[in-house]
Amino acid sequence: MEPILNIVLPVFAIVAAGYLCGARGLLGEDSSVALNRFVYWVALPAMLFRAMATVDLQRDLDPDFFIGFLGAIILLAIVSILAARLLFGRNLAEAAIHGMNGVYGNSGYMGIPLAITAYGEAAALPAIVATVINTALVVGMAIFLIEFGTKGGGNPVRVIGSVVSAMARNPMLVAPVLGLAWAAGGIALPVPVDSFTSILGAAAGPCALFAIGLFMVGKPRSDGRVEVGVMTLTKLAAQPLLTAVMVLLVFPVDPLWAKVAILMAALPTGAGSFVLAQAYGIYVLRTSSVILTSTVLSVATISIFFFWFPPG
């Protein structure tokens, strides 16, 4: 229980600090947008580039782990997107964020430290691989659907061209692609580049969480409770259960890798969803609400996880 509180509570405290600074008037109303832009254009791309550039493509990519973990994400994202469209009447762009909220975990800021604390340094590798899948591929799928949803309705060729062009300029896609290209070359990052991206990347999580707190000042708490509840249930219950089925039964992997995969799936919604939602100006309030709600409730759900898969 202590490792959970030591990692989850600081996440909630950063959001609370942002809220208090906004409520006290220490930072203006535009601070959340400015801070979010810093994360979107600078800090998060640096983190994504470094995460991909330091991956050993031959050693780190276990096909069964990759297929099992990503397969659960894709299946659940499809169901979530359809639910957003059919049950809540959301357009495709909003449904994409809804789907992302249900499968995008706080892997970098919470997942990796939790995995290492619970299972030792051997858990770092599967946790990092899960983080790469979570950040690069989930974000990529969400951006594609958002761009397609906002630009659809015209000539199909022009729409596709516009979507591809927009994705090619998106820093949250360009950065991991460049990192992957670097990793494919088999060359270690120069020390200054590694330090630069490490320092900037470390700012992404705290700044995004702080921006959420700033954004919540003066916003209603009662809107969209059903949607927030569905996304929270999807993230904290459906995803770890489906992931467990995939990595334990359908595509069985090493027991340690399986436990880490389920743990990473059981994490609350990550702040990257808020970064993307605010950057596009869609589904922002519900996204910030599900991050807060799932973070608080994750103390209980992750405790249940460790009851079934005890540390050690």
Give the integer Cα–Cα distance in Å for 103 and 111: 14
What percentage of the chain has pLDDT greater than the value 70? 89
Kindly report the pTM of this predicted structure. Answer: 0.82
What band does 13 get if pLDDT is binned at 50, 70 and 90?
confident
Give the integer Cα–Cα distance in Å for 153 and 116: 47
Q: What SS3 state is found at 185?
A: coil
> Using an 8 Å Cβ cutoff, are 252 and 64 in contact?
yes
What band does 259 get if pLDDT is binned at 50, 70 and 90?
very high
The CATH code for residues 2-308 is 1.20.1530.20
Q: What SS3 state is found at 220?
A: coil
Query: Across all residues in the chain, what is the average pLDDT?
Result: 85
Largest Cα–Cα separation, the chain: 57
CA distances from 210 to 39, 69, 182, 199, 248 (A): 11, 29, 31, 17, 37
> Using an 8 Å Cβ cutoff, are 15 and 295 in contact?
yes
Give the integer Cα–Cα distance in Å for 189 and 179: 10
What pLDDT is attached to residue 78?
95
What pLDDT is attached to residue 248?
95
pLDDT at 3 over 70: no
Lowest mean pLDDT among 47-61, 79-93, 111-125: 47-61
Q: What is the pLDDT of residues 144-186, one digit of tens each?
A: 888 888 776 555 666 667 667 766 777 877 888 888 888 888 8
If you average pLDDT over each of 31-40, 47-56, 86-95, 217-226, which comes out highest? 86-95
**2 compared with 156, residue with greater pLDDT:** 2
230: nearest Cα among 93, 90, 85, 101: 101
The 10 Å Cβ neighbour count of residue 170 is 20
What pLDDT is attached to residue 262?
95
Q: Which residue reads 């995004």 in tokens?
A: 208
What pLDDT is attached to residue 103?
95
Cα-based angle 111, 9, 100 (whole degrees, multiple of 5): 45
**Beta-bridge partners for 269:** 105
pLDDT at 246 over 90: yes
